[in-house]
Structure 1
Amino acid sequence: MDYEVVHTEDVPITDLSDEDEIPPDLRIRALDEVFDTDSLNIKLWYFEPGEEIRYHAHSEQEELFYVLEGQFSLKLGRSGEEEYVDAGPGTFWIAKPEIGHGHRNVGDEEGVILALGAPAVEDPGLDPHRLDDGDDE
């Protein structure tokens, strides 16, 4: 088939707190697994109030984010040049490779973010504060 159509509720939710090797302890819908994408990671991330993805960077992957629900505080930028930005529904932001990014649900309700990442590689989070000194582990 050249196309697929899937409704959100038909994509199973994975609780990452059950996965020891995968922080953070959030819930996701892995759309890339349903669509079996080759070049793109696609996730819906669910955040309870106060939950976050800590400030990190990727060596290869570029990520685009979109807030569907909730209120978030974003930490964006290179180490030493970070800025904090408020983001609500309808907000997009992008993180290029080696650019630090993180976000926290600062609202009183569940927040949902759509995240698209390419290339679709295993690209674990790196400490942005250590990228400039050549030590990214």
Structure 2
Amino acid sequence: MTLHLTVDNWAVQKADARAVRFDVFVIEQKIPVELEWDDMDEHCLHAVAYNEAGHAIGTGRLLPDGHIGRMAVRAAGRGQGVGAAILQALMEKARQRGDTAVVLNAQTQAEAFYSRHGFSRDGDEFYEAGIAHICMRHVFG
């Protein structure tokens, strides 16, 4: 799959990032819509990945404090490196701005994915929106 990936502010990325997040989190994972949206989007860098047809198929965000979150890939894009490309782009933006580490709250089913990208478990399992998560950290070296 040929990907085009952009990283920009919420004003630029909002429509496509929201659409992906709505499909993955609200429709597919049944997370209540009021839990999906918060006031942090406006303060984050957002990555959006597009397939060769120009359709948004994945997204993620980098918060000012070095947290990566709202990683989502539509079903049609899974297993094709979309999530990895988004994660690497956000990690690179964090490195460029001088962050020494990035942290994320991973759904436990995604722990192996994040481990492959150098993240380590940091703490005990907890629940967010009824889904088991773990905190994971990657320190830039």
Task: Assess same fold via TM > 0.5.
Answer: no
After TM superposition, the score normalised by the length of structure 2 is 0.31
Higher helix proportion, which one? 2
Higher strand proportion, which one? 1
After TM superposition, the score normalised by the length of structure 1 is 0.31
